[in-house]
Amino acid sequence: MQSATVFNVQKFSLNDGPGIRTVVFLKGCPLRCTWCANPESQMRAPQLEWKNSACIGCGACLKAAPGAEAAVHANKRHVDVHSLAGDSNEGRAAVSACPTHALTCTGETKTVEEVLRVCLQDKPFYEDSGGGVTLSGGEALVWPEFCEELLGRLHEEGVDTCVETEAHVSPKVFRHMAPLFDHMLVDLKHVDANKIFAHTAGQANLMLDNLRWAIANHPDVLPRTPVIPGFNDTNQDARAMAVWLRDAGAIRVQLLPFHNFGENKYELLGMDYALRGAKNLRSENLEEYRQVFVDEGIQAFF
Ligand code: SF4
């Protein structure tokens, strides 16, 4: 049986495909976008997190994990989250020893059976609402064997399936996996390869070729564009993406205004956040931006 690193299972989601859905978030993403709202999703393996406001500096974590390196913040000496794997013996020991839950682990290895059991708990809600299960991340498709086995079991149970993907996987994997989903929500971050290169660790052509293929071959693809300050939030950016979508045969796009809700997570993980201090974008201030897509024949909505 396949397994994967899962960092969250969110029930009763209304924004990740049709109806009421359970969203399974898998760890691992090759892109590392500068605006990422889920930095805990980037690394494939379970990771330690440390919360300054909860730490009392007792040092119990360091005693429990003598192989760990120490970090010091605000006179509090604690395990350096980068020095231990979250699923190592010492990582687990350090987490267990922490009396205030300041040190925790994000991500857990789960089998298909374990994830399926949780997903099926809400089957009546899926049936009543036209919902189902959405695989997300990170990039869910970096776990193709796990996803394929889970999707097969969900379909045996009559559960509708959806994926949220950046399409940054090999065309071979993408074309094999795409037909296994009833719905696809696929990111279109930009069409400018230089901007993609500057703000992510990804390759524009790979994502664009996969999205173009999905639009042409899958019955239900919704391109989605995260609108990010300083990356793709000008009307020129909108026009370039709108023209690309029109030429690829798309008729609609969902716009996702930037939010900074993930900012605190960077501190927990000991990571830098490139957009620290950036203000949230609001849909009411992006009407002109949305209209650019409409003018090019693309139904754009928030
Ligand atoms: S055990 Fe917990 S509270 Fe104590 S130093 Fe380590 S992280 Fe801080």
Q: Looking at residue 157, which CATH number applies to its domain?
A: 3.20.20.70
The predicted model gives 142-152 an average pLDDT of 98
Q: Are residues 51 and 27 part of one domain?
A: no
pLDDT tens, 148-169? 999 999 999 999 999 999 999 9
Say whether pTM exceeds 0.85.
Answer: yes
Q: Are residues 86 and 30 part of one domain?
A: no
Q: Are residues 146 and 98 part of one domain?
A: no
Q: Are residues 276 and 153 part of one domain?
A: yes
Q: Are residues 285 and 242 part of one domain?
A: yes
- Residue 274 confidence class, pLDDT cut points 50, 70, 90: confident
103 lines ligand 1 (CB under 6 A): yes
**Most informative mutation of 51, 53, 56 for ligand 1 (most atoms within 8 A of CB):** 56
58 lines ligand 1 (CB under 6 A): yes
56 lines ligand 1 (CB under 6 A): yes
Q: Which residues of 126-155 are buried (b: 16+ CB within 10 A; e: fewer)?
A: beebebbbbbbbbbbbbbbebbebbbebbe
102 lines ligand 1 (CB under 6 A): yes
- Residue 27 confidence class, pLDDT cut points 50, 70, 90: very high
Q: Are residues 227 and 92 part of one domain?
A: no
Estimate the share of the chain in helix, then strand, then coil, as percent rounded to the nearest 5: 35, 25, 40
CA distances, 209 to each of 135, 170, 294 (Å): 21, 10, 23
Residue (of 211, 161, 171) closest to 187 by Cα position: 211
78 lines ligand 1 (CB under 6 A): yes
Q: Are residues 202 and 57 part of one domain?
A: no
Q: Are residues 141 and 209 part of one domain?
A: yes
Spacing, Cα 53 to ligand 1 middle (Å) = 11
**Chosen domain end from 56, 90, 106:** 106
**Chosen domain end from 60, 80, 106:** 106
Residue (of 74, 65, 68, 71) closest to 97 by Cα position: 65
Tokens standing for residue 53: 């406001």
61 lines ligand 1 (CB under 6 A): yes
**Most informative mutation of 49, 50, 55 for ligand 1 (most atoms within 8 A of CB):** 55
pLDDT tens, 85-115? 999 999 999 999 999 999 999 999 999 999 9
Q: Are residues 153 and 30 part of one domain?
A: yes
Distance CA 160, CA 301 (A): 24
DSSP 126-189: HHHHT-EEEEESS-GGG-HHHHHHHHHHHHHTT-EEEEEE---S-HHHHHHHGGG-SEEEEE--
Q: Are residues 182 and 96 part of one domain?
A: no
Q: What is the pLDDT of residue 95?
A: 97
The boundaries of the domain holding residue 72 are: 47-106
The predicted model gives 128-143 an average pLDDT of 97
Distance CA 209, CA 29 (A): 18
Please count the structural domains in the chain. Answer: 2
Higher pLDDT, 270 or 301: 301
